[in-house]
Chain A
């Protein structure tokens, strides 16, 4: 509750030193503003969250139960689904970073005209529905898809390659959908980078690679970290793409949650799955924050 202290202090200062009040009369208002935010978040975020916790831990008679938690812990199948979910999200994040950084770098350093084209290339697919994009991959990469037809016709392969309905298909689909979330934060940071700094490094004798590794990369790290955080968070909850492009090894927690909610009306267990997913993502974050600091993790550092 940092906010509360900020609010209280000026109120106290106001009484002892009136000139302060004259200079900064706005300081009294954040209190009200924060109140609004608190009510808003309480109603649309905290309350549903508490309901979710209630579903997960209440038994039908109104008591408290850990039956759902026991079910989650004791079943190997749910562990497998957790591992799949995290594995998929981690690989997606890494691939997005590897593809997204060079693209963002190119966008930041190229001519304004090429930049506009590149930005359009990144943004426009963003406007298409995830479902349509996933289906488009089937047309491209399917057994009788465009790419396989071409490979077969050119004689490079004699049987169609299997791109889809396995982990590869899921990764291709998810990287495609999530790449903009990686590119845009990195690009934003790179655009603000003072171009004099790499130039200075070069003039002092650094090779282009050395200038990049020691100057550009560290300075753009907040963007990269922010991008990774965004992509990872979104990837964890993805289910359309794995359901359409994946095989039986790619069933994620989100698919199971959907099944519990819609087919089985087992909302208590669905709530337990959601909570455990949230807690494990929270744990990953807490670990990350310990390691490199909250500001860097949320990308806030890049903005100051």
Chain B
């Protein structure tokens, strides 16, 4: 914008809003852009992720609608519960994973998403499996085989979970999540045991735990969080990790000897979720309509190599940019979606599968040693 004409903030907002609206036109459920329509607070995970969100989502959205976006976080279930318990809910939108969403739903902390208020054209580009009642998948990650590429030059690396389980042919320490996994990695244990990826659910729990027993002696470190896993891998303390693939890609881009095998990966979404009692629900829907756009997602993926949920995003990414992304058409077909219906199902003891298995995981870890 030329600096010679006096420009007020309001004019900029109006101009930005008007032009964006003209471009995105009928998809928006806004009648008219006003200069100030209050504020929404988006709770996310900080770091480069939040910076990229600020750049490609928050700022353009502010310019388009006049709704201010503030970021906060981390969007942990415990924090939302504490806000609700104290009667002071400050967050509107969360960027979080399904286990956290299920836990929060059980504690009555979230609003169901009214899909009628969202843009149909954009929604259709996002796989149906990601249209959860309480969360709309936007960034895809997955539990993948992430390996040290010095120990295993690409091509000679373990290319399936069965090979990860094979300690004779693939020497080297493994690292699996203790805490920090979205759920115990029972699916990959079953795949290692010979179950095809499209036949994993419903899980044969006992068979999976038997496979976990076989994995156990190969594991050098049960890691507490994903950053730690990548750290151990890049330093060569362990050679094969079951951890978040996109984090491996980040490390690879930073020059660490790390690469990712997507085969057999367990895909899972980070979702947009609405906090019950949030102060600005209308603006929250406007925000969702803005950020589920394929182009916005593509811009985000250029900055942070997580998988865009909208297939439309790949129309805005070059082949090179798309190659390492977990949801590129080539990579997507080698993987399976984490089945939240199965994990969320409540057993006879009143516990969901994820609660029961997570507790079993902790007990297995403590007792079997």
Task: Give A residues with C-beta under 8 Å from B.
Answer: 75-78, 80-81, 84, 135, 138-139, 142-144, 164-165, 243-244, 247-249, 251, 255-256, 258-259, 261-266
Contacts and interface: CB of A to CB of B under 8 A. Distances in A.
A178 B363 CA distance: 28
B235 interface: yes
A75 B184 CA distance: 20
B366 A77 contact: yes
A75 B366 CA distance: 11
B160 interface: no
Given A243-B224, A244-B224, A251 B237 contact: no
The 6 closest A-B pairs by CB, nearest first: A77-B363, A77-B367, A243-B224, A249-B369, A77-B366, A144-B236
Nearest to B76: A262
Nearest to B107: A265
Contacts of A138: 231-232, 235, 237
B359 interface: yes
Given A262-B76, A263-B179, A264-B358, 13 more contacts: A77-B364, A77-B367, A142-B237, A143-B173, A144-B235, A144-B237, A165-B220, A165-B221, A248-B366, A259-B358, A264-B359, A265-B77, A265-B107
B362 A259 contact: yes
Contacts of B205: none
A75 B232 CA distance: 33
A149 to B, nearest CB: 11
Contacts, number: 77
A248 B366 CA distance: 7
Contacts of B236: 143-144
A68 B106 CA distance: 19
Contacts of A84: 366
B103 interface: yes
Q: Chain A at the B interface: mostly helix, strand, loop or mixed?
A: helix
Contact of A142 (B103, B222, B235): B235
Interface of B: 76-78, 81, 99, 103, 106-107, 173, 178-179, 216, 219-222, 224, 228, 231-232, 235-237, 355, 358-359, 362-369
Contact of B78 (A143, A164, A251, A265): A265
A80 B81 CA distance: 31
Contacts of A81: 366
A263 B355 CA distance: 9
Nearest to A135: B231
Contact of B355 (A76, A142, A244, A264): A264
15 contacts: A77-B364, A80-B366, A81-B366, A143-B237, A144-B235, A164-B237, A247-B221, A248-B178, A248-B366, A258-B179, A259-B179, A259-B358, A262-B78, A263-B358, A265-B77
A19 B193 CA distance: 90
A263 B367 contact: no
Contact of A265 (B81, B178, B362, B367): B81
B177 to A, nearest CB: 11
Contacts of B228: 244
**From A248, A258, A262, residue with most partner B Cβ within 10 Å:** A248
Contacts of B78: 261-262, 265
Contacts of B219: 248
Contacts of B358: 259, 263-264
B366 A251 contact: yes
A259 B364 CA distance: 14
A81 B365 CA distance: 10
A251 B365 contact: yes
A143 B173 CA distance: 10
Contact of B365 (A78, A144, A248, A262): A248
B276 to A, nearest CB: 15
Given A138-B237, A249-B369, A265-B81, A75 B107 contact: no
A70 to B, nearest CB: 13
**From A135, A139, A165, residue with most partner B Cβ within 10 Å:** A165
A60 to B, nearest CB: 10
A76 B367 contact: yes
A263 B77 CA distance: 8
A57 B362 CA distance: 23
Contacts of A249: 369
Nearest to A269: B359
B233 to A, nearest CB: 12
B99 A263 contact: yes
Given A138-B237, A264-B355, A80 B367 contact: yes
A75 B237 contact: no
Contacts of B365: 248, 251
Contact of A256 (B76, B99, B237, B362): B362
A237 B279 CA distance: 38
Contact of A77 (B106, B237, B362): B362
A266 B350 CA distance: 13
Contacts of B81: 265
Nearest to B228: A244
Contacts of B363: 75, 77-78
Contacts of B364: 77
A84 to B, nearest CB: 8
A64 B48 CA distance: 47
A251 B223 CA distance: 12
A244 B179 CA distance: 11
A144 B113 CA distance: 49
A263 B367 CA distance: 20
Nearest to A240: B224
Nearest to B182: A263
Nearest to A84: B366
Contacts of B99: 263
Contacts of B224: 243-244
A265 B224 CA distance: 18
Given A76-B367, A247-B221, A251-B366, A264 B179 contact: no
A164 B238 CA distance: 12
A218 to B, nearest CB: 41
A107 B207 CA distance: 60
A246 to B, nearest CB: 9
